[in-house]
Chains A and B, each alone.
Chain A
Amino acid sequence: MLRWFARRLLLAIPVVWGVVTISFFMMHLAPGDPARTALGEKASDASVAALRHQWGLDQSMPLQYLNYLKQLVHGDLGTSVYYHAPITSLMAQRLPVTIILVVLSAILTMLIAVPLASRSATHPNGLAAVAVRLFNAVVQGAPTFFIGAMLILFLGVRIAIFPAGGYPADIGGRAWALVLPALTIALGTVPIMVRGLRAAMIESYGSEYVAFARSKGLPERPIRYGYVLRNAGISGVSILGIQVGALASGALVIEQVFAIPGMGSMLMTGILNRDYALVQACTLVFGLLVVVVYLGTDLAYARLDPRARLS
């Protein structure tokens, strides 16, 4: 198991390097001058040129790339030209927010998807199953930002249970403020999860081991949770793993809509201002997050299904 995990870890290195390299060149090849953006419209060309020199932007692209890699190896993510602050300190503020948001979304996804999938799998032709299908179609068809806006309108303004956006200073307020954005992201994932889980559960219900358990006279409840859901959970874990990767990108839009100061909104600001160091650092961290989640998914999968370890 340890060797298996170490191999997976080694395989992640080229993935991360690829992310770093692609993001570096994509950002640097895109038009737009960070020095001009930083100094504003009225700064003289001489000031802009001086700043470009100071930041090493007048060097050749391969040299800039090598310098960047060298910097990364030393654990230095650079300084944000937009925020005028070291990126590590910005990350320390922003990363936990996004991680909490993504984890909360994943938990909410499970809390909503499992009962829905379970209900529609046990009564595939019932009214509840039709309602779940309808819910899936509507939620999946609506863009995430629209769902967010609707939630703000009803739960933030009409009923006013949750704040309409923002991120207060106190811990309690923050937890409360994260509910709507997490729910919005979760709702984007729920339909996929429900479909996957439902199909896996229906397949499990038709399997021989369920027929055997029933023939032994085992009640329906332990069969559902001990046999069907446990086995369907294997596919659920992989779906969730893939979706958590997507959740990170969902955070990009949702953090903007709900004014949550996480990595997504920081990345957006970085892109718009050609803040190379900031964008590269965010991309790297998002890349690492996805790699870590996938590793975790593989690990969970291997734990649930020993056949995965053998392969």
Chain B
Amino acid sequence: MKRLKTLCGAVVLASTVVLTACGGSGTGSGVAQSGGDLVMARADEATSLLPSVPTDNASIWVIEEIYDTLTVPDQSGKSVRPSLATSWTQSSDKLSWTFHLRKDAKFTNGKTVTSADVKFSIEQNQKSDAPFSFIDTVVTAIDTPDPATVVFHTKKPWSPLPADMALYANSIVPNNYGGKSATEFAAHPIGSGPFKFASWSKGSSLKIVKNTKYWRKGTPHLDSVTFTTVPDSNTRATQLASNQIQINEYPSNSSIKTLKAQPNLTVSMFPSSEIDYMSMNVRRAPFNDVNVRKAISLAIDKKAILEAVYYGHGTLAGGFLSPTTWAHNESIKPVPHDVAAAKAALAKSSHPHGFTTTIMVGSGSQDSSSEAQLVQGDLAKIGIKVKIKTLDPSALSTAKHAGNYDMAFGLYTTDIVDPDEIARFAGTYDGGSNTLYSGYKNSKMDSLAATASSSSQQSERKAAYDQMQQIIADNVPYVPLFYVPGIYSYGKVKGFHPAATGNYFLEKVQLTK
């Protein structure tokens, strides 16, 4: 749930293959050059550069450029590859993982990255006030037998650990923050990543410069990157058109066609784990009736919403795990729009003649507002009268967490490449969101999630995740609507290709002439 705001655009593809095929490669026209300052305009500003603190993408994607993690997600988002750790193995009793660190990685203060730094860093994210502490609670102890070896002991057999170690919140900082307080360190962060922190003018821009001693030789190509904060999508688009910036994060849907028509600009859509959904509160009548939920799912014309709101840039969702994860269940197809079947389902329910309900949308999101109106129209056809209630995003989030709503839109993304995090978040009651705020409780889902995370056989894990997706599809506590990729428009840039988890990998990016 890194994304706090609804994406302006949504270009969605059916599978990773299709996504890659249809999406841009991040290769702009022109000859790649070495050096230069890349300016990227983003809608939101970073909030903190201390890895264990923020939850917003604006911070996360900068943190990933400044710090290293033990592992990193690969481009497809299906697995992890070595980073600070060159290899890792699980013990024969499955209760510990040993990571071997590379010996040539140094922090920008010149100190070598050691196992003591790793231990300290992970322990920071284990503190109860760290928002992503839940990822590391499975780790019971961390041993550092030598400076290049770290051993994580886990409560139970835990397959997702290598993927967990690629999480931004598990970025490696110097032991004891290099003798600074956390606040002092956050103001002048030190990492071992491809770029190092240079300056931050709050509200305006954040600059990172090339780490000339980066262990991965030959990168980065850029001299520096400047992230500017430009909330208005039109302003970002005009800045790009006037070559004031090189990359526009999240162009609005409505601008994509125009942007594509401009010869010097590229619009690219990258595979993302984002799924947009509509949740129903099963704790309340009539949503406690599965026939009502099925009727609603059948009555919504998702394709029409996709065309009208997202300008056709998207793919209808089936299973609740994104096609960017290997655990995606391809056999679950999107629920078709079928008014007759919806009426039949409603007729079997406790409210055969319909009822009146509300749908909550976040203020400031034109997309959500339009979606709500279309849903309102669709449900009216089967006798369900929907009132639209608009709330501030913060108030909406609180209402959803408190279970104080009937229906609401939302989106989720995964933070790690292993399906475990999102399978629990969107599939189990105790996974953080009470099954995407629906309040749907099913002990079978908990045991399947537990089986999947403890097994080291991918086929066994996949079977469990397939079953979880089928249970959600059968019981419809929420309607997965669309699989949504990340959209960027850019000018003279080559090699820009974010991962499914959002990592920019800016060390690979070059400006072109």
**A interface with B by C-beta (< 8 Å):** 30-34, 36-37, 39-47, 50-51, 54, 82-85, 90, 93-94, 149, 152-153, 156-157, 160, 163-167, 169, 256-259, 261-262, 265-266, 268-269, 271-274
Residue B133 is within 8 A (CB to CB) of chain A in the complex: yes
Please determine whether B53 and A32 come into contact, CB atoms closer than 8 angstroms. Answer: no
Q: Which residues of B contact A163 (CB under 8 A)?
A: 239, 242, 244
Nearest 5 A/B pairs, CB to CB: A40-B55, A261-B203, A32-B394, A41-B1, A31-B395
Please determine whether A42 and B132 come into contact, CB atoms closer than 8 angstroms. Answer: yes
Per the bound structure, the CA–CA distance linking A33 and B53 in Å amounts to: 17
19 more CB-based (< 8 A) A-B contacts, given A85-B202, A166-B228, A167-B204: A32-B397, A37-B398, A40-B4, A44-B432, A47-B130, A54-B129, A84-B186, A156-B238, A157-B238, A166-B205, A166-B245, A167-B201, A256-B232, A258-B232, A259-B204, A259-B229, A259-B231, A262-B203, A274-B392
Give the total number of A-B pairs whose CB atoms are below 8 A apart. 157
Per the bound structure, the CA–CA distance linking A154 and B479 in Å amounts to: 44
Please determine whether A272 and B202 come into contact, CB atoms closer than 8 angstroms. Answer: no
Please determine whether B432 and A42 come into contact, CB atoms closer than 8 angstroms. Answer: yes
Q: Who on chain A is nearest to B127 by CB?
A: A47
Please determine whether B391 and A31 come into contact, CB atoms closer than 8 angstroms. Answer: yes
Per the bound structure, the CA–CA distance linking A50 and B393 in Å amounts to: 22
- A–B Cβ pairs within 8 angstroms, 23 of them: A31-B391, A32-B397, A41-B397, A43-B55, A43-B432, A46-B128, A47-B131, A50-B128, A54-B129, A83-B202, A90-B202, A93-B202, A149-B234, A156-B242, A164-B238, A164-B241, A165-B244, A166-B204, A257-B232, A259-B230, A269-B45, A272-B392, A274-B392
Q: Which residues of A contact B355 (CB under 8 A)?
A: none
Residue B358 is within 8 A (CB to CB) of chain A in the complex: no
Please determine whether A266 and B203 come into contact, CB atoms closer than 8 angstroms. Answer: yes
Q: Which residues of A contact B235 (CB under 8 A)?
A: 152, 164-165, 257-259
Q: Which residues of A contact B415 (CB under 8 A)?
A: 42
Please determine whether A259 and B228 come into contact, CB atoms closer than 8 angstroms. Answer: yes
Contact among B47, B130, B364, B392 for A82, CB-based, below 8 A = B47
Q: Which residues of A contact B228 (CB under 8 A)?
A: 166, 259
Q: Which residues of A contact B239 (CB under 8 A)?
A: 163-166
Greatest chain A CB density within 10 A among B202, B203, B415 is at B203
Per the bound structure, the CA–CA distance linking A256 and B1 in Å amounts to: 25
**B interface with A by C-beta (< 8 Å):** 1, 4, 41, 45, 47-48, 50, 53, 55-56, 128-134, 186, 199, 201-205, 228-232, 234-236, 238-239, 241-242, 244-245, 364, 391-395, 397-399, 401, 412, 415, 425, 432-433
**Shortest CB distance B144–A (Å):** 27
Q: Who on chain A is nearest to B187 by CB?
A: A85
Per the bound structure, the CA–CA distance linking A31 and B395 in Å amounts to: 5
Q: Which residues of A contact B204 (CB under 8 A)?
A: 166-167, 259, 261
Q: Who on chain A is nearest to B425 by CB?
A: A42
Please determine whether A42 and B232 come into contact, CB atoms closer than 8 angstroms. Answer: no
Q: Who on chain B is nearest to A253 by CB?
A: B232
